Amino acid sequence: MQTLPLAEYASRRRRLLDTLPEGSIAIVAGAELSPRNRDVEYYFRQDSDFYYLTGFAETSAWLVLVPGRGEGEVVMFCQPRDPAMEIWEGYRAGPEGCMARYGADQAFNVEELDQQLPQLLAGRQQLFYSFDSRDPVVQRIGQWLASTRRQARSGVQAPAQVRQLDDVLHEMRLFKSPAEQQQMREAGRITALGHRRAMTVCQPGMWEYQLEGEILHEFSRHGSRWPAYGSIVGGGANACVLHYINNDQRLRDGDLVLIDAGCELDYYAGDVTRTFPVNGRFSAEQRAVYDIVLAAELACIERSRSGVGFDQLHDVSVNILTQGLVDLGILQGSVDGLIEQGAYRDFYMHRIGHWLGMDVHDVGSYRQQGQWRALQPGMVTTIEPGIYINPANTRVEERWRGIGIRIEDNVLVTDAEPEVLTALAPKTVTEIEALMAEARG
């Protein structure tokens, strides 16, 4: 369901066209259907780059941007209207709809690609496309270049330079416009509601996948058709598996459950982690570890400000978590020495966060000219420290083993205070226990 105005997509194309050098051409391929099993495909999701520039959610589509071209700078290729096929597969916009609704200057049947692309490439000095494109896409672009080069004796010039489109396009995507920011606020709100629901319905004896189902139900109730990624619902020691997605074990009284789940709303992701007690009450050990993780998260959110280096946030989390592990006796030694040795990595093996947007691990460079880049207004990042104590770690007292805790929020960098887009999800011990107690009457 498209919610951003079509003018937003037109503005993005204009910005990209204005950035591309004179005499260049850019090609962006849409996504194709992917088979799941016999006669069944996975649910179709458009390629993020393609959707960012078009808002067009049909399969087998292409976008070509040709700066300064008199016949039109924005050219689209798509499946044609076909009343017989539309009975089975649904409405198609067709080339006419690409022009009338989606802002293409010209549009063609996708079956005309091999005929039209060599003509569009002719006379262009530079070709931009994503080097990370799927193999069939790269092969087709290579074939079109070869076809254009074969016309050299007729005076046709093919692009002499091939350049990475991602360098330009992904830098654009890193900075969210006001419309995107509002979309991500709503995605964050819905995601937080899903986590609240999980806390209110959780009971010992439930299956992890039943809790996942409650979250997905809440997402859809508020307008999100799909999750942004495979949900993680890990009870007990399963929380120590960072990408645990089996979600097929019973939740036990006395254990914590870690839920990493986010909704997707018109291609924009939420990404939240909450960890809470299955029975509604933290044990002393669980609370002790939890409070350390929460202190690290709050400190990093507070520092998520314009001008702060992305690496500085991670360093803050490492310092707080390492100090906390020393205070609990889980690590022994000086904090500085333990950090230098990397001893904390047995318990905190990932970084503090990642860009968030149309992809849950969104595009955009983390370094520029070899240096960690500074945060700037319009960026959205996750903040997600964690402590994971492997149940097999015999160097740690048994009472700590199998505790896995992560707390994650989505933060918009602004000109002033950082904005937490997912603040509706409770995360202090007091808030979590109060919500769960209220739900139990």
Ranges of each domain in the chain: 6-173, 175-439
Q: Which of 345, 361, 395, 399 is catalytic?
A: 361
Tens digit of each residue's pLDDT (9 = 90 or more) over 76-128: 999 999 999 888 889 999 999 999 999 999 999 999 999 999 999 999 999 99
Dihedral sign (CA 196, 201, 207, 210): negative
Within 13 A of 130's CA, how many CA atoms are on the CB side?
20
Q: Is residue 278 very low, low, confident or very high in pLDDT (cuts 50, 70, 90)?
A: very high
Q: Which of 58, 180, 208, 260 is catalytic?
A: 260
Whether 395 is catalytic is no
pLDDT value at residue 337? 98
Q: Rounded to whole angstroms, what are the CA distances from 21 to 61, 154, 309?
A: 24, 25, 31
Residue 188 host element (H or E): helix 178-201
Q: 406 has which bridge partners?
A: 386
Neighbours of 343 (CB within 10 A): 17
- Rounded CA-CA distance 126/122 in Å is 11
Q: Which of 214, 264, 266, 408 is catalytic?
A: 408
Whether 314 has a pLDDT exceeding 70, the answer reads yes
Neighbours of 132 (CB within 10 A): 12
Whether 135 has a pLDDT exceeding 90, the answer reads no
Dihedral sign (CA 297, 299, 305, 309): negative
Q: Is residue 441 very low, low, confident or very high in pLDDT (cuts 50, 70, 90)?
A: confident
| Percent residues over pLDDT 90 in the chain | 92
Taking alpha carbons only, the member of 386, 378, 323 closest to residue 351 is 386
pLDDT value at residue 248? 98
Whether 314 is catalytic is no
Tens digit of each residue's pLDDT (9 = 90 or more) over 177-214: 999 999 999 999 999 999 999 999 999 999 999 999 99
Tens digit of each residue's pLDDT (9 = 90 or more) over 34-62: 999 988 999 999 999 999 999 999 999 99
Taking alpha carbons only, the member of 379, 184, 38, 242 closest to residue 230 is 242
pLDDT value at residue 133? 76
Q: What is the mean pLDDT of residues 387-393?
A: 97
Per-residue tokens: 1: 């369901």
Q: Which amino acid, residue 243?
A: H
Q: Which of 243, 340, 398, 415 is catalytic?
A: 243
Q: Which of 140, 189, 195, 406 is catalytic?
A: 406
Q: Which of 166, 271, 362, 433 is catalytic?
A: 271
- Rounded CA-CA distance 293/279 in Å is 20
pLDDT value at residue 169? 98
Whether 217 is catalytic is no
Q: Which of 45, 350, 351, 373 is catalytic?
A: 350
- Rounded CA-CA distance 436/403 in Å is 20
Whether 32 is catalytic is no
* DSSP-assigned letter for residue 137: H
Helices (H), 68-177: 83-89, 94-100, 113-121, 135-149, 166-174
pLDDT value at residue 132? 83
Q: Rounded to whole angstroms, what are the CA distances from 401 to 50, 269, 396, 426?
A: 46, 33, 7, 25
Per-residue tokens: 105: 């200057």
More confident residue, 135 or 273: 273
Whether 350 is catalytic is yes
pLDDT value at residue 156? 85
Whether 39 is catalytic is yes
Q: Which of 51, 388, 409, 419 is catalytic?
A: 388
Q: Which CATH architecture has domain 6-173?
A: 3-Layer(aba) Sandwich (3.40)
Whether 388 is catalytic is yes
Q: Which of 39, 71, 135, 415 is catalytic?
A: 39
Q: What is the mean pLDDT of residues 231-247?
A: 97
Whether 260 is catalytic is yes
Q: Is residue 1 very low, low, confident or very high in pLDDT (cuts 50, 70, 90)?
A: low
Dihedral sign (CA 334, 336, 341, 345): positive
Per-residue tokens: 52: 């960012």
| Percent residues over pLDDT 70 in the chain | 100
Distance between terminal CA atoms of the chain?
38
Whether 406 is catalytic is yes
Whether 271 is catalytic is yes
Whether 143 has a pLDDT exceeding 70, the answer reads yes
The CATH code for residues 175-439 is 3.90.230.10
Q: What is the mean pLDDT of residues 57-81?
A: 97
Q: Which of 354, 362, 409, 433 is catalytic?
A: 354
Neighbours of 29 (CB within 10 A): 23
Q: What is the mean pLDDT of residues 361-366?
A: 98
Whether 243 is catalytic is yes
Taking alpha carbons only, the member of 407, 439, 171 closest to residue 300 is 407
Q: Is residue 65 very low, low, confident or very high in pLDDT (cuts 50, 70, 90)?
A: very high
Helices (H), 222-283: none
Taking alpha carbons only, the member of 413, 376, 385, 420 closest to residue 292 is 385
- Rounded CA-CA distance 379/366 in Å is 11
